[in-house]
Amino acid sequence: MQETRLDTARIRAARRVIDPAFLGTPLYRCEALEPHLGCAVSIKLETANPVRSFKGRGSEVVASRLAEDGPQAMVCASAGNLGQALAWSGRGRGLDVTVVASRFATRAKLDRIRALEARLELVDGDHELARERAAAIARHDGIRLVEDSLDIETCEGAATIGLELLDTVPSFDAVLIALGGGALATGVGHVMKALAPDVEVICVQPLGAPALTRSWHQRRVVTTEATDTIADGVAGRYPIHAVLDDLLAVADDAVLVREASIVAGMRMLLDHAGLVVEPSAALGVAAIREDRDRFAGRHVATIVCGSNVDMDAYRHWVGAPLDTS
């Protein structure tokens, strides 16, 4: 395989510092979904933990390494899930955590960040403005800036999902991974290419937030002016060069899906799997739904990466007619 910034031995080491509450997550065939999708579907469920997303894996690696040098402070920008996770991991280790988020972020995520005793600063703009502000705080205060997907610990943490995916028998033909900043895709993708190169690694992003997918296809960083998607967890505009390089090494494809498919995916996961998921976590099902021929008869694993939703919005989404595309 092509080199990436990741290393399988370091990923195995990362697994040893992560709180068990985030590890060994459920992985199971969901046959009730299959008639609706036309292929065998396994779910890797990353929502049944103290922060309801996979981000605890990375935050545990970040915080455990930082805490080796005693009490410290760190700051991150977050759409809400990394912030919760860092707040959780920092609280348990006596680390001071500041989270910068858009004031338009999902309310439930912001509420949980506050409840976990992190300092929360809101910016009047999108996630990219939050990233700028977090960097400015880090420079001013001389504290650790945690940059999702750029900081290798966030990728290594996410990559531990890949190790767990390969514990399963029988294995699958393709894995569908939500694409945001890229930590999840490059982390899991690295493990697949290193240990199970026949598994197709497919990244999925919303049409309304296509920057990293376009970058992957054009093999250079492409930015966008704005995002327009309910999948708040993956709505970035400025891909990171080093992350794109890794993604080019490990992804077999990157696809874009419509908003209506994301909503339909959320509803399918509720109705047929009994799972509440946030929009980003429905990207995999949305991708199958949009390209059934591609997956017909194959065994596909999809990482259900988070369940932090505002319940009002969620009820609206899943109450809407199924076929809105």
Residue 16 touching a second copy (CB under 8 A): no
Scan residues 112-171 and list those touching a second copy (CB under 8 A). 112, 115-116
Where are the alpha helices (H) located in 47-126, listed in sequence order? 55-67, 81-91, 107-115
Does 30 sit near a second copy (CB under 8 A)? yes
Contact 175, 303 (CB under 8 A): yes
Which residues, 6 or more positions from 19, have their beta carbon under 8 angstroms from its beta carbon?
56, 60, 89, 92
Could you say whether residue 40 binds a second copy (CB under 8 A)? no
Tell me whether residue 150 or residue 262 sits nearer to a second copy (CB atom): 262
271 binds a second copy, rule: CB under 8 A: yes
Angle at 8 between CA 25 and CA 5, to 5 degrees: 110
Identify which of 96, 98, 141 has the alpha carbon closest to the alpha carbon of residue 122: 98
| Nearest-approach distance from CB 167 to a second copy, in angstroms | 8
Cα–Cα distance measured from residue 108 to residue 90, given in angstroms and rounded to the nearest whole number: 20
Q: Which stretch binds a second copy (CB under 8 A): 140-148, 204-212, 255-263, 268-276?
A: 268-276
Tell me the sheet residues that pair with 40: 299
**By the rule CB under 8 A, 207 interacts with a second copy:** no
- Helix pair 81-91, 107-115: axis angle to 10 deg: 10
Is the CB of 77 or the CB of 276 nearer to a second copy?
A: 276
Nearest to 1 by CA among 254, 244, 259, 246: 246
Question: CB of residue 114 vs a second copy: minimum separation in angstroms?
Answer: 12
Select the residue interacting with a second copy from 89, 154, 213, 307 (CB under 8 A): 307
Interface size with a second copy, residues (CB under 8 A) = 29
Backbone angles phi, psi at 122, to 5 degrees: -100, 140
Query: Binding residue for a second copy (CB under 8 A) from 70, 142, 274, 297?
Result: 274
CA distance 43 to 52: 15
* Among 4-12, 22-30, 241-249, 287-295, the segment contacting a second copy (CB under 8 A): 22-30
Interface with a second copy, residue 31, by CB under 8 A: yes
Q: Which is nearer to a second copy, 9 or 169 (CB)?
A: 169
147-173 b/e (C-beta count within 10 Å ≥ 16 → b): bbbbbbbbbbbbbbbbbbbeeeeeebe
Residue 195 in the binding site for a second copy (CB under 8 A): no
Q: Min. distance of Cβ 247 from a second copy in angstroms?
A: 29
Of 49, 64, 224, 229, which one interacts with a second copy (CB under 8 A)? 49
Which residues within the stretch 81-120 sit at the binding site for a second copy (CB under 8 A)? Answer: 112, 115-116
- The residue (of 21 and 122) whose beta carbon lies closer to a second copy is 21
Tokens of 234: 């993956």
**What is the binding site for a second copy (CB under 8 A)?**
21, 24-32, 43, 45, 47-50, 52, 112, 115-116, 270-271, 274-276, 307-309, 311
